Amino acid sequence: MRLPPALAESWDWQLEAACRGTDPGAFFYLDNERGEARGTRVRAAKLICRSCPVRSECLEHALDSHEHHGVWGGLTEEERRVLRSSG
Ligand code: SF4
């Protein structure tokens, strides 16, 4: 995992996040979450990401730091894995 340096500029984008103040549980699946429950949660998270002004910064962070869990930048962990392997 490669985290950005502990400089405020590296994390400032999070101040603009559309998900700021949202329950983190909307973006991370529970161990026993399956099927429609998971699909409903992921669609709701992606809806928030769609209007997020820092979506590209969020996705870049998730790809750079190899975030293995949750919806980041509008993509699930599986979608980020596919994106990483394609490019
Ligand atoms: S893209 Fe989605 S997960 Fe990332 S900061 Fe914006 S709302 Fe949050």
Convert the pLDDT of each residue in 7-66 to its tens digit: 666 789 999 999 999 998 899 987 788 889 889 999 999 999 999 999 999 999 999 999
- How many domains does the structure of the chain reveal? 1
The pLDDT of residue 37 = 87
In a domain, 78, yes or no: yes
CA of 47 to the centre of ligand 1 (A): 10
The rounded distance, in Å, linking the Cα atoms of 25 and 16 is 19
The rounded distance, in Å, linking the Cα atoms of 26 and 76 is 12
The pLDDT of residue 8 = 67
In a domain, 36, yes or no: yes
In a domain, 2, yes or no: no
The pLDDT of residue 9 = 67
Structural domain boundaries enclosing 58: 24-86
Q: Is the pLDDT of residue 76 over 90?
A: yes
Closest residue CA from atom 2 of ligand 1: 49
The pLDDT of residue 2 = 64
The rounded distance, in Å, linking the Cα atoms of 33 and 43 is 14
42 lines ligand 1 (CB under 6 A): no
49 lines ligand 1 (CB under 6 A): yes
In a domain, 9, yes or no: no
The rounded distance, in Å, linking the Cα atoms of 73 and 57 is 8
